Structure 1
Amino acid sequence: MHTDEGNLDWVFNNTPVFFIRDPIKFPSVNRSHKRNPRSHLPDPNMFWDFHVGNPEGIHQLLVLFSDRGTPKSVRFLNSYSGHTYKFTKADGSFNYIKIHMKTRQGVKNFTQEEATRVAGEDPDYMIRDMFDAIQRKEFPQWDVFVQVMSPSEAEAYRWNIFDMTKVWPQKDFPLKKIGKMTLNRNAAFSPSTMVPGFAASADPILQARLFAYPDAARYRLGVNYQQLPTNAAKVPVYCPFERDGAMRFDDNYGADPNYVGSTLQPTRFKTEENGVTSQSLSLHTDHEKWVGEVSTYTSQVTDEDFVQPAALWEVLGREQGHQERVIQNLAGNISGVTSSKLRDGVYALFGRVNQELGAKLRKATEAKVKN
């Protein structure tokens, strides 16, 4: 989004939670979901072996194998920050937020059969659908809502607000509409592209993405990808410390100093008496001490990690046939697991969400295995 103070990128998911809460597991979750390194074939054994061993992702798995896991188009899905961000003020005060974007085009999903057919007939369908809609000037729109939590509420809340496997129930923190977003350009996005008033929290997965996404963009597009017309800020952004490199589109700041605190900075860009300085608000507060203590994760999983997935399973039960479709979607995938011991581990994992779910999943899957 182009603002008066630079660009603000929102890189969100179509699910409000994620598979992990510890960023050290990021490479592993990605590898387990990709192809077998020897055969280069999809491997359900790898997928389910990871998730049985890392059960904190059960909430995301339920979303993934529900109807919500196969959206008909990016235009027809709701989107979520997932991460906890901050709305900040100049005096250093802030509130924590989560962002929800609800599509104005209506939510539409594929069935498993439709998704399989489209993936075979047109693997680029999702990209084409969005690109063509923007080319036709049928710009998709979303209503933007936030959930707001004060630092004191965060310290006392039941769940760790930096845990990306959890949501903030809307009964506790209702949605508040703040605006509308229209997507009218294709661009390279990074969650580290922010403006004053919007900031990252200590969410460990978010902190990892702040580094990873710019690295990916630099790898694909070059070190000066933020100067591309689509990505460039529409207001002057002065940062002579970042310069040089291939595909530089401007005068590369000429002779401007590239170090902090210079008195030689051109007056047209001067922001303080002594030029560009490195400045930050003091963060040494009791709250930040609490943040440091709760944002270091272990792999320990407790019954609390199954409370929200159990609630989601009940919600899916209110939609006709949805629970049955989830079971069939799961069974079709789990039936490819060759180890009966590993399959038993999967049934036990879902049984911790709901005993009946685990039993029905076992019955549906084993029927497919025998056939």
Structure 2
Amino acid sequence: MPKHTLTTESGAPVADNQNSATAGVGGPLLLQDQHLLEKLARFNRERIPERVVHARGSGAYGHFEVTDDVTGFTHADFLSEIGRRTEVFVRFSTVADSLGGADAVRDPRGFALKFYTAEGNYDLVGNNTPVFFIKDPLKFPDFIHSQKRDPFTGVTEPDNVWDFWAHSPEATHQITWLFGDRGIPASYRHMNGYGSHTYQWTNAEGEAFFVKYHFKTNQGVRCLSAEQAAEQVGADANSHQRDLVHAIERGVKPSWTLHVQIMPAADAAEYRFNPFDLTKVWPHSDYPLQRVGRLVLDRNPDNVFAEVEQAAFSPNNFVPGIGPSPDKMLQGRLFAYADAHRYRLGVNHTQLPVNAPKATEAANYGRDGLHATHGGARYDRYAKNYEPNSYGGPAETGRPLSAPLAVTGWTGTHAAAEHVKDDDFFQAGELYRLMSPEERSRLVANIAGSLSQVTRDDVVEKNLAHFHAADTEYGTRVAEAVRALRED
């Protein structure tokens, strides 16, 4: 016997789920068959707009536990004491491909966390690389267009990919990461995560610090070669999703140790390069890693669509003690992420269980809109829907979440302030020189394999000039490898 009775959306029992109602035996279908019409109409509406980027993703729940005292740097409540645990939801993803894409591809990986803190949800949106391809959000739509399927051929075109990079020398550092040994993680469990952007922490005394987040995998970093990845994609396009689900089901609890780099706010203006440039890292010799806590994943979602596909992360979801920096890419994302979710999921997407606060309750004066399940202020059935009011509704605290950022007046230019060593290539060269001879050979082969497919010689030459500018040997070896492949 079935455990439950099958019902319609309204809860009425369904008598027959195998045959549509007809006008006589074998006759045409009847418009009065509400169950048939409801099933077909709902089926037509099951898909929602796909994420423009990070479409292909996996997720899990867990907790973050503080292991070290950081109260000298931030008054964020969830970081306030050693042993404090906060529930989290984490979503991993590829960046460029569609929802139906394969997991084991050469692409950065999204590493997004939602901390369900007692002061509201805190979202940290990063990648598995500490840098990115561009430093200004104005270039982001064009960058993604160049990486996506060509509107004419319908496939990703090396011509488009490398042409954009030829005109974006700041991408050289990230390209060196992407085509190196860490370009294809073996699984989501075996990669590091980075906040990538620079953020601000503020302590109880109002002192400001700039920070970078580093989540170091406790499983060890494991990656795939291009050949191994091709085999993996052919055998199981969903390899990373399957690995994460099965690992947690077996009782394996993937974990990461969080470290941060901390820069006193006063250091930023005189640092040798722009510390808010997303295409650069802070050398650990200048700002060493300081341990904060441990992230553990221990529960799979019950429904991938409801919880992973509808999970909405936005870097403007801050909590007291944590705020933004002048990082231009971060500033652009403060708007873009939330706006994308309002388009995909509706203005009330924060009321979905995966996105709603868990350790506190949202109380505001937002109302109505598609899929509203409640008003913003649920404390009283007679609540007013405006502020200020005389009826005890939610009120402002008067205390900013973070310290104000230093700003300057309009100078007639959009350019960032100059630092002594604002250069697009030197860190790419440093990364290349850190590699072993074997790693360098694989990096050169990976880049040449892609760049050699470009049909325009000028685009090839512009990209080769970037690698030469990073390191003479680097550029020479890539040029020779590309030439050899094109002659074949």
Give your verdict on TM over 0.5. Answer: yes
Q: What amino acid maps onto 1:10 in structure 2? A: L
Distance in 2 (alpha carbons) for counterparts of 1:347 and 1:72: 29
Q: Is the 8 A contact 1:21 1:297 kept in 2?
A: no
Of 273, 280, 299 in structure 2, the residue corresponding to residue 159 of structure 1 is: 273
Q: Does 1:224 align with 2:316?
A: no
Separation in 2, partners of 1:218, 1:289: 30
Residue pair 1:244, 1:252 contacting (<8 A) in 2 also: no
Candidates 400, 423, 430, aligned match of 1:304: 423
Describe the superposition over 1:258-316 as per-residue Cα deviations: whole angstroms up to 9, x where unpaired.
Answer: 333222234xxx5xxxx3367648977xx7036988x9546999872211111111111
Distance 2:179 2:202 in 1: 36
Deviations 1:226-263 (CA, angstroms, capped at 9, x unpaired): 22222221233343222322333345535433333222
SS of the equivalent of 1:305 reads coil
Map 1:7-22 to 2 at 5 A.
Answer: 7-22=121-136
Assess if the C-alpha contact under 8 Å between 2:200 and 2:402 holds in 1: no
Code of the residue aligned with 1:349 in structure 2: it is H
1:276 aligns with 396
Q: Secondary structure at the match of 2:292?
A: strand
Tell me if structure 1 keeps the 8 A contact 2:166–2:462.
yes
Q: CA deviation at 1:183?
A: 2.9
Supply the AA of the counterpart residue of 1:120: G
Q: Determine the structure 1 residue equivalent to 2:407.
A: 289
The residue number in structure 2 matching 1:209 is 333
Q: 2:323–2:402: 8 Å Cα contact kept in structure 1?
A: no
Partner residue, 2:209: 95
Count of residue correspondences: 359
Deviations 1:188-227 (A, max 9, x none): 2222222111111121111222222223333333332222
Alignment of 1:100-139 (within 5 A): 100-139=214-253
Alignment of 1:256-275 (within 5 A): 256-266=383-393, 270=394, 275=395
**8 A contact 2:321–2:402 mirrored in 1:** no
- Asked if the contact 1:87–1:197 (Cα under 8 Å) also holds between the matched residues in 2, the reply is yes
Amino acid at match of 2:327: D
**Residue 474 of structure 2 aligns with which residue?**
357
Residues 54, 299 of structure 1: 8 Å contact kept: no
Q: Are 2:443 and 1:326 equivalent residues in the alignment?
A: yes
Task: Supply the RMSD in Å over aligned alpha carbons.
Answer: 2.7
Q: Is the 8 A contact 1:134 1:184 kept in 2?
A: yes
Are residues 125 and 92 of structure 1, via their aligned partners in 2, closer, same or farther at CA, if it must alter by over 3 Å?
A: same
- Are the aligned partners of 1:22 and 1:298 in contact in 2 as well (CA < 8 Å)? no
Check whether the contact 1:98–1:147 (CA below 8 A) recurs between aligned residues: yes
Separation of aligned partners in 1, 2:402 and 2:194: 30
Q: 1:100 to 1:292 in 2, by over 3 A?
A: farther
Overall identity of the aligned pairs, in %: 40
Q: Which residue of 2 aligns with 1:65?
A: 179
From 297, 314, 324, give the equivalent of 1:190.
314
Q: Is the 8 A contact 2:200 2:210 kept in 1?
A: yes
Query: In 1, distance between residues paired with 2:241 and 2:456?
Result: 36
Maintained 8 Å contact 1:18/1:60: yes
Q: Say whether the 8 Å CA contact 2:365–2:376 is kept in structure 1.
A: no
* Residues 1:260 and 1:280: Cα distance change in structure 2 (over 3 Å): farther
1:28 pairs, out of 132, 139, 142, with 142
Match of 1:366 in 2: 483
Q: Which amino acid aligns with 2:443?
A: V
> Aligned residue for 2:368?
244
- State the match for 2:452 in structure 1: 335
The amino acid that maps onto 1:147 is Q
Give the unaligned 5+ runs of structure 1: none
Contact 2:197 2:276 survives alignment (8 Å): yes
Question: Residue 288 of structure 1: SS of its match in structure 2?
Answer: coil
Residues 289-347 of structure 1 show CA distances to partners (whole Å, capped at 9, x for unaligned) of 36988x9546999872211111111111xx35100000000011011101122212221
Q: What is the distance in 2 between the residues matched to 1:283 and 1:292?
A: 22
Inter-partner Cα distance in structure 1 for 2:331 and 2:483: 41
Name the one with the larger strand percent: 2
TM-score (norm 1): 0.88
- Name the CA shift for 1:81/1:323 in 2 (closer, same or farther; >3 Å): same
Amino acid at match of 1:265: G
Moved more, 170-179 or 136-145: 136-145
* Alignment partners' CA distance in 1, 2:402 and 2:154: 50
Q: Which moved more, 1:82-91 or 1:103-112?
A: 82-91
What amino acid maps onto 1:276 in structure 2? E
Structure with the greater alpha carbon radius of gyration: 2
Shift of 1:127: 2.9
* 1:305–1:256 CA distance, 2 compared to 1 (3 A): same
Structure with higher helix content: 1
